[in-house]
Structure 1
C-alpha cells in the first residue's frame, strides 16, 4: 500500500486527564510550541503523552499494553493527585491551517478491581467531527481481554483511519546524548534511538541526493556557529560503519578533517537538531535543545526552525529553561506554554492568556523577558543561602 501523505498535519490540541503530573490540563498547539516551567513540573511527561500515541501504533514492540509496560505500568502514569476520577485519558486533535480538527482521538484506560491488567475503558476516533470508530467497556464485562488492545493498534481495523495511524507513527522524540552518538557500536543501530544512537544510520540511509543537500544546509549553519568549520560529509570506515567528517581551517592550505568521535557536545547536538528538522515527518519532540550551545546560537534556533518548517512542514514541540530561546525574535505569545505545578497537579497556561505577560510584551519586552520570570521556582533565591557542607 502506498504511503499516505500527512505533510502539513500537526497536533492542534492536547488534553490530559490524570496523566502523570496532570490531573486536568489542556493546551492548543501551533507549529512551534515552547514549554517552560520549574523542574519536575511535568514538561518531559507532557512530551511523553505524545510519545505514548506513537507507541500505541508501532508495528513492532508497540500497542497499548507494551506502551504502558515501557512506562512501568498504569500506577506509574496515573496522576498522584487523581481522586474521584481515577481513569487516565489522552485526547488530541490533529489538523492543519485550514481545519484544526481533521482527526480527533481519545483514549481512556484504567484497571478495574480484581483484574490483573489495565484495559481500554473508552476509545473514539473522529474524522472531521464525525465518529468513525468507538468502543467502551462495561466494568462488569465477562471478557476483559477484549479490551486489552486499543482499536488504533489493530491492523485489521485501520483502513478507515490509516492517515491517523501514519501520523502517530511519524512522531519522533529526540534528546541527543553526544556520548551515545560517538559510540561506534551504535552506528548501525537497527532500532530507533531517541538519544541519537541511530543518527548516523538515518543519515546513511537517506538517498545520496537528499543526504548531500541536507548536509550542505547543516554545514551552512555550522559555519556560523562553529569557529573554523569548513564542511561536513559522510564517510565509511573499513568495517563499513558510517561516520560524519567535518573539515576545519588551520594554518595549512587544506582543512583538517575530524570524525564525530571528537566533535564537541554542542556540535553533535546541533547536527542532530538540524538533521531532524529537515526530515519530512510528524511532530518532533525536543528536550532542552539549548544544551551545550552558546546563548547567541540558541537565540537563532526558533528562526532556524521556522525556516526549515517551510521546507519540511514539521511541527516542533520543545521543553526549555532558556531565556534566550523563548526570548528570540519572532516567538509569539501563542507559542509559549507555562506549566504551573500545584497540590492539585500541574496546569498549562498559554502566554497569550496571561494579562500580565501580554501587558509586558505590549510595553516592549520580549516574550521570554515577560514569561520566564513567572516560570521560576518559588523562593529560588533561598538556594544561595543553602550550606551543603554544614555538619
Structure 2
C-alpha cells in the first residue's frame, strides 16, 4: 500500500508547527475553524503543484496568495514548510518544500526543496545555491518533468491525490458543470462518470445501485444516460403506488442521495489518497455509522489511503476505528495543535473501558462554553 506516513507543517494556515504520524486510514476531528479543511488542503496543495496547469506559483495563487497560506501565528523565519513521508511498498520517500515571498516579489520562491529515498538524498536545492539565477527558484523540480526523473514516483503519487466534497447544488445546476477541469465540489462529477469506460462504469453503477437500495427508501434502480444535447445524467427509479416506478434525474435527487452517490463513486475509483471532507453531511446517522466499514472494504480491494475530517460521533462509533487513527485539533493562542488520540491518556482509558472513539474523543474538541449559545437572543 502506498500512503502518507507523516505530515509536518510549519507556518501553514492554522498550524505554526505540527508533526503527525499517519496510518492508511486517518480521521481528523476538531471545532469549527480549527483547521480540519486546512489539513486536507496541505495534501491538495501538493497535488496542485504537479497537476496540469499547476506549479508552485499557481498553487499559491489559487489560495489567495502567500498571505492566505502563511500562518497568522508564525514567527521569524516566516517560511512556509510542508514535509511529508510516503511509504511505497518497501521504500520510504521524503519530500520537503520550504517557500516564501516578499512584497517586492511577484511569485513565491523556494527556500529549500529536498527529496530522499530510504535515507539517501536525491535532491537538495536551496536559495543560497541558486542565488545567481533566482528565477529558477519560482519552480519546484518536482513539477518539472525534465528534473523529476529520479523521483517520478513521488510526482505520480501526488498527481493521484483525490479530494471529494460533493456540493449537491453544483451537480443539480448544469450551468455550473465544468469541462476538462477537475472540480472536487461536483462540477466534473457527471463528466467523470461519462468518461469512464462503459463496462467499468456499468459495473460500478450496479454496485452503487445495491448500496442505494439499502440506504434510500423506495429506491429501485440507477442508470446513466446522455440527453439530446450530449449532456450526461444519472437517473433513478422509485417505487410508488402506480405499477411503473417513477423516474427522476439528478436535478431532483435529495442532498443526501447526491452526497451518497459522490461518496460511493469516489470509493470505487482506483487512484491515490482519497481526501473526504465531512462525508456525513446530509446523511442519516445509521448510514454514517457504516462509512468506516465501507472505507475499510475499499482499502482491502484498492489499497488506497483515506483521510477524513468529521464532526460525527456516528461515524466514529465503529468499533474498528482505533485510537491511532484519530487526530484531535486543539486551538490555542499560538495556532492549532494536533494530538493523536492514542497519545491522550483520558481518551485511551475511556476507549479501553468500552466507549467508542467518538464518545471518548469528541468531547475534548467541542467549543468551550458552547452551552451559552442557548442564551443567544437575536433582539
Q: TM-score, normalised by structure 2?
A: 0.96
Gap change, CA 1:240 and 1:81, over 3 Å in 2: same
Does residue 1:65 correspond to 2:38, yes or no?
Answer: no
Partner of 2:203, secondary structure, is helix
Compute the displacement of 1:10 (Å): 1.3
1:373 aligns with 2:363: yes
Is the counterpart of residue 109 in structure 1 residue 99 in structure 2? Answer: yes
Q: Check if 1:40 corresponds to 2:30.
A: no
After TM superposition, give the deviation of residue 376 of structure 1 in Å: 0.2
Contact 1:54 1:169 (C-alpha < 8 Å) held by counterparts: yes
State the distance in 2 between where 1:308 and 1:140 align.
Answer: 45
Q: What's 2:304 paired with?
A: 314
Q: Give the structure 2 partner of residue 4 of structure 1.
A: none
- Are positions 1:189 and 2:179 aligned together? yes
Matched ranges for 1:271-290 at <5 A: 271-290=261-280
Displacement, 1:196? 0.6
Q: Over residues 263-305 of structure 1, what are the superposed CA-to-partner deviations in whole Å (9 max), with x where a residue is unaligned?
A: 0000000000110111011111111111100111110111111
State the shift of 1:111 in Å.
2.4
Q: 1:208 to 1:19 in 2, by over 3 A?
A: same
Measured in 2, the distance between the counterparts of 1:12 and 1:363 equals 29
For residue 49 of structure 1, what is the aligned residue in structure 2? 42
The superposition leaves residues 365-385 of structure 1 with CA deviations (integer Å, 9 ceiling, x where unpaired) of 010000010010111111111
Describe the SS at the equivalent of 2:342.
helix
Query: Are 1:137 and 2:127 counterparts?
Result: yes
Corresponding residue for residue 250 of structure 2:
260
**Structure 1 residue runs without a partner (length 5+):** 1-7
The answer to whether residue 66 in structure 2 is matched with residue 74 in structure 1 is: yes
Within 2, Cα distance between the matches of 1:140 and 1:28? 33
Structure 2 unaligned blocks of 5 or more: none
Note if contact 1:187-1:242 (Cα within 8 Å) is conserved in structure 2.
no
Aligned partner of residue 227 in structure 1, secondary structure: coil
Cα deviation code 1:197-231 (max 9, x no counterpart): 11111111111111111111111111111001112
| 1:214-293 alignment runs, 5 A limit | 214-293=204-283
Determine the C-alpha separation between the residues in 2 that align with 1:317 and 1:52: 15
How many residues align structurally? Answer: 379
Cα distance change of structure 1 residues 187 and 147 upon mapping to structure 2, 3 Å threshold: closer
The counterpart of 1:323, out of the listed 290, 295, 313, is: 313
| Residues 78-135 of structure 1: CA deviation (Å, up to 9, x unaligned) | 1111113311100001115x54x62110000112585443210000011222111121
Q: Which residue of structure 2 lines up, in the alignment, with residue 3 of structure 1?
A: none
8 Å CA contact 2:56–2:108 kept in 1: the answer is: no
Aligned to 1:384: 374
Aligned pair partner of 1:301 in 279, 291, 294: 291
Distance (Å, rounded) in 1 between the aligned partners of 2:6 and 2:368? 29
